[in-house]
Amino acid sequence: MDKPNILISPEELKRQLAQQDQVIVDLSKPELYAAGHIPGAVHLDYAQVVRHQPPVMGLLPDESAFGQALAACGITPETRVIAYDDEGGGKAGRLLWTLAACGHKHWALLDGGRGAWQAIAGPLEKNEAAPEATPSYPVSFAASPVVAERDYILAHLDDPGVALLDARSAAEYQGLDRRATRAGHIPGAVNLDWLDLMDRQRQLRLKSAEQLLATLAQLGIRREQEVIVYCHSHHRSALSFVALKALGFEQVRGYPGAWSDWGNQPDTPIET
């Protein structure tokens, strides 16, 4: 599955490495980046993409700090950002969702990430990239159409035009695996484990559009709906966001904080 501006295959990126208007961002473990990374890729620590306020994890980062991190990577509002990681796309997807949340238009996920790149014998280099820093990126998350906070979800629980997609494990969804004060799922949410988006036979690339659309249809998720994705901290579900956008879903939101927010409130409605 490959859609321009959303998903880029390793083969396509290999042909486009020399392009000047893009920044490749590596969110792999630092030791993996040091061992070898896609030529020209800059390393970004995942901690710079999220903010924690225990017990709530995975909140939107501080606007100023995130803007400075983007600028240090050489990213401007016009730059095409291609992100990858070593885990199938969760961290990279979270960066891309965060970019979308501040209105960045040009971004793509490297399908399958580091593993898929190595599988096609994509070149690696060990020299740390030294991008030319740009003026601080002006970041604002105000009224973002890709963000769904708790109050927004509460206001749309009975809205048939809004669907909730839980990207956690079945055990977390069912309330058997408790990772917050309270366990279960948001009422009405359907469960599609983020791991089930990946094709394990193809280095964790996303499954084909036909496979994913069939699965979503079985769950009652339709393109004409607005879909809100969440997991425990909107790390795993960030890949769900990218996958849905690549499949042509126009209205997709992510829930920063996700279950670590919802499940730690004393009065939010919960199903098991």
**Residues assigned a catalytic role:** 231
Phi, psi of 202 (to 5 degrees): -130, 45
Q: What is the amino acid identity at position 218?
A: Q
Q: Name the residue among 90, 125, 122, 123 with its Cα closest to residue 109.
A: 90
Q: What's the CA gap between 148 and 131, in Å, rounded?
A: 33
Residue 125, classed as helix, strand or coil, is strand
Q: What's the CA gap between 217 and 211, in Å, rounded?
A: 10
Residue 185, classed as helix, strand or coil, is strand
Dig out the tokens for 38 from the structure. Answer: 């896609």
CA angle 198, 106, 248 (to 5 degrees): 50
Q: Write out the DSSP string of 201-254.
A: GGTTEEPPHHHHHHHHHHTT--TTSEEEEE-SSSSHHHHHHHHHHHTT-S-EEE
Half-sphere exposure of 136 (CA within 13 A, CB side): 9
